[in-house]
Amino acid sequence: MQTCRTIDNAYMKSLSHRRRATLAAVARRAGVSIVTASRALNANPLVAKATRDRILAAQAELGYAPNLLARGLVQNRTTTVGVVIPELANPFFVPMVSGIESVAANRRFLTIVGESRRQEAEERLYVEQFRQFRIGGIIASPATIRLDHLTAARAAGIPVIVMAWPWPDGDYVATDDLQGGRLAAQHLLTRAHRRIGIVRMADPRHAPIQARVQGFREVLAAAGTSVQDTWDVQVPGTQIEDGITAADRVLALPTRPSALFVSSDRIAIGLIHRLLTRGVRVPEDIALVSYDDIPYAMPARVPLTTVAVPKRALGEKAANLLFQRYDGKGSAKPRQILLPPELVVRASCP
């Protein structure tokens, strides 16, 4: 019984000690100024590594935990990054979020992720909630071409970066989807295909897909060919089920194309599944080039030839650009970064 009391007393003293810990106490223990201690705990690169390690050791010893809410009230922004993406379960966005989180963690920022479900109203709600939370910065992969809610957040003093989508009036990091479409067309043409179709999500507001299709059509036109209207197959979304729907439409055509450009890998996976079950060989009967290079593209039933998007790099560069804005660095003019795509050749169109 006495042993239990001793342990309980020690535990309570430890809790009391931790509650009394302050930034000033951490600074004294580490032998630095409060300003230096604060900078180190905020991962400021101006603090030397040895000094930062000493301060972190003092923090751990004293059990000091900064009051982020109080700090946010004083600074009018918290050490958090708010991210809005269309789909949490979409493997296209997972590496982007991972890249953002990695950069944010190095700055000791918390990353909060919201899913818009491709609904403009949901996206706007998240951005407004981030503003109310006094978020340190926002990275958004939009579901709409209307970005006035992001413009309003930026006007309120919040750094805002658009990811994987062009933003003519603001900072963005995206893939050169126009070039990506060109790569797909050039590959099909070099494989002697001329009867070429397109399978894509039917959303005229989706800027990246529109750019992919535009680049694709430009190369075909330069080669003296084009996509017949009946071979431009449009589906509601980017799910595997949409690919199955697209395959049924292709199978019902009186004359089928010899090759298809598909706007996303998930559609392509569903499409190939249906074609194979109906006895259509890929690539012998219909070759296929898709887009994104998600993790399932390589181990698919027929490994996908696809235009690879540098997904993790998009997230990392978006986060780095956000922190440049957060630190007040760089020109006031919008920074607009396009990363090059890369064609990955596999069995669907070798």
Domain with CATH 1.10.260.40 in the chain: 2-66
Q: Where in the chain is the domain with CATH 3.40.50.2300?
A: 73-174+311-338, 177-310
d(CA 187, CA 208): 20
Residues of the chain with pLDDT under 70: 1-20, 66-77
pLDDT at residue 67, rounded to an integer: 60
DSSP characters over 127-176: HHHHHHTT-SEEEE--SSS--HHHHHHHHTT--EEEESS--TTS-EEEE-
Q: Alpha-carbon distance 42 to 221, whole Å?
A: 54
Which pLDDT value is given to residue 65?
Answer: 76
In three-state secondary structure terms, 65 is coil
CATH number of 73-174+311-338: 3.40.50.2300
| Helix, strand and coil percent figures for the chain, each rounded to 5 | 45, 15, 35
pLDDT at 279: 97
Give the percent of the chain with pLDDT over 90. 77
What span, in angstroms and rounded, lies between the C-alpha atoms of 214 and 182? 8
pLDDT of residue 292: 98
Percent residues over pLDDT 70 in the chain: 91
Take residue 301 and report the two structure tokens written for it: 């039933």
208-266 pLDDT tens trace: 999 999 999 999 999 999 999 999 999 999 999 999 999 999 999 999 999 999 999 99
pLDDT of residue 16: 46
pTM of the model: 0.81
d(CA 3, CA 129): 50
- The C-alpha angle with vertex 308 and arms to 302 and 313, in degrees rounded to 5, equals 140
CA dihedral 138, 203, 122, 83 (to 10 degrees): -20
The CATH number assigned to the domain with range 177-310 reads 3.40.50.2300
Q: Class assignment of domain 2-66?
A: mainly alpha
pLDDT the model gives residue 22: 86
CA dist., res. 108 & res. 43, Å (int): 6
